[in-house]
A and B are shown apart, each in its own frame.
Chain A
Amino acid sequence: MSKKVASWLVLLLTMVAAVSLALSVANAKDTKKNGFNVALLNGTNSNAWRLQMEQNMQTVANKYKAQGIIGKYSVFVANNDATTQAQQMQQLINSGVDAILINPVSATSLSPLIDKAVAKGILVMGIDQHISHPKVISVTTDQYAWAKIQAEWLAKQIDKKGNILQFDAIAGAPANDVRHQAYADVLARYPDIKVLKLVNMDWDEGKAKQLMTTLLSAYPNFDAILCQDGAAVGIINALQEAKHPLPKAITSDEWIAYLRLWHDLNQKNPGKPLNAIIVENPPGIGADGLQIVVRLLQGKKLKSGVLTSDPSDKGNKNAILIKPTLVITNANMEEWYEKTKDKPDTYYIDSVLSQKEIDKLFN
């Protein structure tokens, strides 16, 4: 290597070092602690539900920031890549935060890093999806209860007998498996209800539509459709295109677009409304988690009995399961249609627990 190149290299490195040093001094001044430093690791933000979750959390964080309770709140997304999330977690641990909320890419995969974080005194909490780790509290919607409400309702609508089609989401995804189990447990009590066919629609309404179109040729005589969220719009569209009569009953999709489709259908056929049910699976769960984290950071203690076991992690008592409360049927559909009129089509029926309701969880 010639001397000239070498001297240039040295110069470049010195400059880089100098700038980085200057910046780090500037950073050190910035991170004065007025309050807690809380971070959210979101596995993905590429769907409307997760975005709404982020927005809800941001609103709550801004409120806490204004009160000085939270000093810094940051969000990192991992593009559904478990290693990216691990890297973000690693860097958060290194840079020192008070609490990390995680909506994990993979529910069990962060254990070594969680061990590290807990050893450093960082509070780690799972939101929306349960994390199997004894030292991590997860705040999730009670998916078992969610699915049970729907299956029970469906059974009642068809007088406990008949043929149904079942749309699950992704085999292997924890929420899907819990819901699947709840459906199975309820249906086991009604031997006259027969599941003609079970399919997986990957929480994708386009795929659900395609599947429904295919199913129509093989199973045209069904009474009702039991499906998870993400499918109902596609199913109804497929039935309409095939000019097939709508089912006697169909279960949830908490998407506003569906509520509007439902409303329009009823407007067009006033004598024969669509018999549907929406059970909330609120993106507000993240904001609930954030409120709980802040109270835990403040040193408040959870009431005994608040912590239960998640169905996927029976060995640990580390879950706060929030029961879905909002159920929409034809009885209150119009009311909710009016209430959400100004929301975009991609909005989800949502609720965040109030300060009071959160306080009830604590001593």
Chain B
Amino acid sequence: MRLWRLLRSAPALPGYLLLTGAIIINILVQGPDFFSMDNFNSIFSVNAPLIMAAIAQTVVVLTGEIDLSIGSNMTLVNTIAILLANQYHWPVGGSWLTALLAGTLVGVLNGLIVAYLRIPSLLATFSTMSVVSGLALWVLPKPGGTVPSEVYSAYGGYLVGLPTTVWIIATVVALWAIISKYPIGKYIRAVGGRERSAYASGIRIERVKLFAHTFSGFVTGLAGLCLTALMASGDPKIGLPFGLNSIAAVILGGTILSGGWGGIGGSIAGALFLGLVSNIVFFLFNNFAGLIPGIGNVSSFYQQLLSNLIVIFGLASAVFTPRKKNGIGLPKTREGMTKDAV
């Protein structure tokens, strides 16, 4: 039972449990095709943008802040990458790097506003969200542009036996694992756990928040590039759903919104859970809706109902987020939680 004890104290437990449940149901409705490498590949390539967005959101949430601008930041990255490569004929590498830089800069801007101007992140990122989506619309007023087929084939293909997107995600996870080993990784959780105590122990709170937002902006940039590679085109509205979905993934993954407790592992599980839900609903309706007489005529209503019900069920289970040091349960006291967890 050592595994259970280890799992039980992991903040990401609800995320992992939900994901396991979703995987089992998905296998049930999809059949053995689930186990094909192509299926794994399509799940990861389609959901990589959300997974990255969830990682970006987690880092900010760990400091006790929130970032509403992730969706529009991804859109900005998408439009810049497409515009530079298509209209100005920059090489793909150069335009994508510039787009990544722009995404990071948005993160820096958020960080400066939140940390130094001390505007609550809910307000600050709400306003940057509008500004950034306006910028994206200015960069690329209407959908268009293409990505070279080598790029999107590589994105949707394999690298050394595994889907390319798995490698991309693994790289970011490794990067975060390294950061977590340095003091700054611990500071991020400390600031989110209890800001005053962190301040009293000499942590420079502004710098920590600035760092978290910058890192988040960088990962959001990667998310935007993944989205660009997946969609192979630009669209000034494409990132819209990612803002709220990334927050949902974070909550599903067991990270608490007040900060300090959680980790990116759970958020990745949460994002995959959301992806699998649409998969499940697809197969449920594709394979079984015909068996129930009458449902065929209105099935699209039920799809919405079902997928949203599953998500609500998942979000409700966030109640079980382990907030005490060693197990599941509602918090009695808030401790300064700085446990390492990925």
The reply to whether A94 and B290 contact each other, CB–CB distance below 8 Å, is no
Q: Given A1-B3, A106-B231, A171-B141: A76 and B285 within 8 A (CB)? A: yes
Q: A76–B303 contact, CB under 8 A?
A: yes
User: A17: which B residues are within 8 A, CB to CB?
Assistant: 27, 32
Asked if A91 meets B282 with Cβ closer than 8 Å, knowing A77-B304, A82-B235, the reply is: yes
Is B301 interfacial (CB-CB < 8 Å)? yes
Known: A75-B300, A77-B304. Is A83-B28 also a contact (CB below 8 A)? no
Given A109-B231, A111-B232: A91 and B279 within 8 A (CB)?
yes
Expressed in whole angstroms, the Cα–Cα distance for A5 and B4 within the complex equals 10
| Chain B interface bracket (under 10, 10 to 19, 20 to 34, 35 or more) | 35 or more
Check if B327 is an interface residue, CB within 8 A of chain A. Answer: no
Given contacts A23-B28, A174-B143, contact A42 B287 (CB under 8 A): no
Query: A84 — nearest CB in chain B belongs to which residue?
Result: B278
B143–A106 contact, CB under 8 A? yes
How far apart are the CA atoms of A311 and B153 in the complex, in Å?
29
B300 in contact with A54 (CB, 8 Å):
yes
Q: Assess the A23–B46 pair: CB atoms within 8 A.
A: no
Q: Does B130 contact A (CB under 8 A)?
A: no
> Residue-by-residue, is B15-52 near A (CB-CB < 8 Å gives 1, otherwise 0)?
00000000010011111111000110011001101100
Contact partner of A86 (CB less than 8 A), chosen from B28, B38, B231, is B231
Cα distance, A1 to B47, chains bound together (Å) = 31
Contact with B along A47-89 (1 / 0, CB 8 A): 0000000100010001000000000111111011111101110
CA distance A122 to B290 in the complex (A): 22
| A112 CA / B154 CA spacing, docked (Å) | 11
B275–A87 CB distance below 8 A: yes
> CA A90 – CA B42 in complex, angstroms?
7
Q: B304 touching A112 by the CB < 8 A rule?
A: no
Evaluate whether A90 and B46 lie within 8 angstroms (CB atoms) in the complex, with A82-B238, A171-B137 already known.
yes
Cβ–Cβ < 8 Å partners of B245 in chain A: 81
Chain A residue nearest to B229 in the complex (CB): A112
Interface residues in B36-88 (C-beta closer than 8 Å to A): 38-39, 42-43, 46-47, 49-50
In whole angstroms, what is the CA distance A312 to B141 when docked?
A: 12
**A87 cross-chain contacts in B, Cβ below 8 A:** 42-43, 46-47, 275, 278-279, 282
The reply to whether A45 and B300 form a contact with Cβ atoms under 8 Å apart is yes
> In the bound complex, what is the Cα–Cα distance between A42 and B304 (angstroms)?
12
Report B338 CB to chain A, min CB distance, Å: 28
* Residues of chain A within 8 A of B29, CB atoms compared: 23
- Counting chain B CB atoms within 10 Å of each CB, which of A88, A172, A173 scores highest? A172
Main SS at interface, chain B: helix
Considering only residues 265-293 of chain B, those with a C-beta below 8 Å from chain A are: 275, 278-279, 282-283, 285-287, 289-291
Query: When the two chains form their complex, are residues A172 and B300 in contact, meaning their CB atoms are under 8 A apart?
Result: no
What chain A residues lie within 8 Å of B145 (beta carbons)? 108
Minimum C-beta distance from A307 to chain B (A): 21
- CB neighbors of A among B290-342 (8 A): 290-291, 296-297, 299-301, 303-304, 307
The winner among B39, B42, B231, B240 for most chain A CB atoms within 10 A is B231
The residue of chain B having its C-beta at the shortest distance from the C-beta of A106 within the complex is B235
In the assembled complex, the Cα of A90 lies from the Cα of B152 at a distance in Å of 14
Cα A173 to Cα B145 with chains together (Å): 15
- Expressed in whole angstroms, the minimum distance between the Cβ of A67 and any Cβ of chain B is 16
CB within 8 Å of A: which B185-236 residues: 227, 230-236
Q: Is the CB of A74 within 8 A of B299?
A: yes
> Is A24 an interface residue, CB under 8 A from the partner?
yes
Q: Are A106 and B141 also in contact (CB < 8 A) when A20-B34, A76-B300, A82-B231 are?
A: no
Tell me whether B27 and A16 are in contact (CB under 8 A): yes
Q: Are B143 and A108 in contact (CB under 8 A)?
A: yes
Q: Which of B223-264 contact A (CB under 8 A)?
A: 227, 230-238, 240-241, 245
Q: Are A88 and B282 in contact (CB under 8 A)?
A: yes
B136 to chain A, nearest CB (A): 9
Question: Does A107 sit within 8 A of B, measured CB to CB?
Answer: yes
A109 touches B42 (CB 8 A): no
- A30 CB-CB contact with B under 8 Å: yes
Among residues of B, the one whose C-beta sits closest to the C-beta of A115 is B149
Q: Report yes or no: B234 in contact with A108, Cβ–Cβ below 8 A.
A: yes
B236 touches A94 (CB 8 A): no
Contacts of A88 in B (CB 8 A): 278, 282
- 8 inter-chain pairs at a CB distance below 8 angstroms, sorted by A residue, are A21-B31, A58-B297, A76-B282, A80-B241, A86-B46, A87-B279, A94-B39, A172-B143
Q: Sorted from nearest, which 6 A-B pairs have the closest CB atoms?
A: A24-B31, A109-B231, A108-B233, A106-B235, A81-B241, A87-B46
